[in-house]
Structure formats: structure tokens, C-alpha cells
């Protein structure tokens, strides 16, 4: 049973380009969460999705960031017109159901904006 799969592991983008980060949850998991870790900080919640629905996007920046979790395929975190401050590690987690179950994390995507 494969764990949470994120790709790419490393992504380099020039300022102004778009970044697409992918996350395939564990088999049987229908809840997906995205977190961002800036250097020297803890993980910060960005968005919580279930299949085809955004449940909570209270941690998402108001502009340039979007997320989806389609009926088929992985969850996508999309960052348009990247800036240097977007450089961070982005982690995806999945869980089978709600509160009271553990969320399992992928290995993360390290985004570097040059």
C-alpha cells in the first residue's frame, strides 16, 4: 500500500512562472490537506479538500494560489506568477475520514523560485 505520493520532489521556477504540485493520497483516503513550511518555521495549513470539493481554504493566500481534487486523478496545488517568497516546502497529507484519525504526509515538494 503506497503512501502519499507527491511530485515533483523538487521544482525550480523563475519569477512569474506557474508552479503545479501534485499529490496522490493513500488508497482509500478521500481527504487531502496541503501545508506549507517556510524556512525555520512549522507547517502552516493551506487548504482541505475532499473529492471535487474545497472544504476549508482559510490558509490559502487570496491571490495566485488555487487547489483542486478532481474525481479522477491527483490533487493539484497551483501557484500562478510565482515570487521568491513562495519558495518553501509544500506538503500534502491524506486521511480516510475526519477528526480522530491520523493524517499521513507525503515527502513534500521543495519549490525554489529564482
Q: Give the residue, chosen from 12, 55, 83, 114, that forms a contact with other proteins under the rule CB under 8 A.
A: 55
Instruction: Show the binding pattern over residues 71-90: x = contacts other proteins (CB under 8 A), - = does not.
Output: --------------------
- 97 part of the interface to other proteins, by CB under 8 A: yes
Q: Is the dihedral of CA 41, 76, 102, 57 positive or negative?
A: positive
Q: How far apart are CA 102 and CA 98, in angstroms?
A: 9
Q: How far apart are CA 72 and CA 83, in angstroms?
A: 30
Cell numbers that stand for 57 in this block: 481554504
The residues that bridge with 40 in the sheet, in sequence order, are none
Q: Report in angstroms how near the CB of residue 92 gets to other proteins at its nearest.
A: 8
Q: Give the residue, chosen from 43, 54, 76, 87, that forms a contact with other proteins under the rule CB under 8 A.
A: 43
The 10 Å Cβ neighbour count of residue 82 is 21
Which stretch, 12-20, 60-68, 69-77, 91-99, contacts other proteins (CB under 8 A)?
A: 91-99
Q: Is the dihedral of CA 40, 43, 45, 51 positive or negative?
A: positive
Residue with smaller CB distance to other proteins, 12 or 83:
12
By CB under 8 A, name the binding residues for other proteins: 4, 6, 31, 33, 35, 41-45, 48, 55-56, 91, 93, 95, 97-108, 110
Amino acid at each position: 500500500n503506497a503512501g502519499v505520493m507527491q511530485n515533483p520532489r523538487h521544482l525550480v521556477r523563475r519569477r512569474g512562472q506557474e508552479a503545479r504540485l501534485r499529490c496522490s493520497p493513500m488508497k482509500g483516503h478521500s481527504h487531502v490537506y496541503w501545508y506549507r513550511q517556510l524556512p525555520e518555521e512549522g507547517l502552516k495549513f493551506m487548504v482541505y479538500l475532499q473529492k471535487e470539493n474545497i472544504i476549508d481554504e482559510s490558509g490559502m493566500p487570496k491571490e495566485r494560489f488555487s487547489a483542486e481534487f478532481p474525481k479522477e486523478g491527483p490533487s493539484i496545488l497551483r501557484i500562478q506568477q510565482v515570487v521568491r517568497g513562495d519558495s518553501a516546502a509544500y506538503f500534502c497529507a491524506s486521511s480516510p475520514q475526519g477528526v480522530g484519525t491520523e493524517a499521513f504526509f507525503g515527502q513534500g515538494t521543495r519549490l525554489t523560485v529564482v
